[in-house]
Homo-oligomer: A and B are copies of this chain.
Amino acid sequence: MLEQFVYFSDLLGCIVFAISGVLVAGRLKMDPFGVVVLASVTAIGGGTIRDMVIGATPVFWIHDTTYLYVIFATAVISMISARKAHHLPSFLLPLLDAFGLALFTVIGAEKALSYELPAVVAVVMGVTTGVAGGMIRDLLAGQIPLVLQKEIYATASILGGLLYTGSIALGVNASWALGIAMIGTLSLRLAALKWHLSLPVFNLRR
């Protein structure tokens, strides 16, 4: 039950992250191949770096090709229907994106713990899984990754990683730890979106 919930949520997270890649590609007038590349790196880039760093190779989407098919289908459907997207309520994508961030963070931290890596590494891997894909998307789009400059986005992922690994360390069972971490990430991220919260920037510019 929990495993199935996590698996389908993971695919849902890939869909949402892929859509954000499609939207960036569309703003840069990329061709269909560029759209698929940006959708893919956004959706599976973070998890791919995580798996390469911890040596969990072949990486996850090679074992289970469902991820690739879901991303390709998302890219195609998004390209066809993107111009009609204004019919969707505007809060839907940010909400799903926050959900994807929360889940990817937990999945990344959980994978590190399952390899018996230290808690601090688990938090780093949670954040990597959550935000690195979006950073590669921005690099390929010629932009400084947004997540480095503003919005409480990575910070929400760090909180989720700390809550998950902390809960597991305290003996909380995995389902509860997942729930606690996701609620923490989601609350902070959605609060930041609603009230336009940012951390103060570190400014050395003259």
Residue in A29, A30, A199 whose Cβ sees the most chain B Cβ within 10 Å:
A30
Q: Contact string, A191-206, partner B, CB cutoff 8 A, digits 1/0?
A: 0000000111111110
Whether A59 is near chain B, meaning CB under 8 Å from some CB there, is yes
| Interchain CA distance A23-B142 in the complex, whole Å | 21
For residue A160, give the distance in angstroms from its CB to the closest CB of chain B.
Answer: 13
Complex: chain B residue closest to A153, CB-CB: B33
Chain B residue numbers with a CB within 8 Å of A139 are: 139-140
Chain A interface residue count, Cβ-Cβ cutoff 8 angstroms: 59
Are B54's CB and A199's CB within 8 A?
no
**Integer count of this chain's copies in the complex:** 3
Chain B residue numbers with a CB within 8 Å of A118 are: 62, 65
Q: Contact string, A129-162, partner B, CB cutoff 8 A, digits 1/0?
A: 0000001000111111101111000110010000
Chain B residue numbers with a CB within 8 Å of A34 are: 145, 147-149, 202
Whether A35 is near chain B, meaning CB under 8 Å from some CB there, is yes
Are B30's CB and A149's CB within 8 A?
yes
For residue A191, give the distance in angstroms from its CB to the closest CB of chain B.
Answer: 16
For residue A127, give the distance in angstroms from its CB to the closest CB of chain B.
Answer: 8
Whether A89 is near chain B, meaning CB under 8 Å from some CB there, is no
Are A149's CB and B48's CB within 8 A?
no
Out of B57, B69, B155, which one reaches A52, CB within 8 Å?
Answer: B57
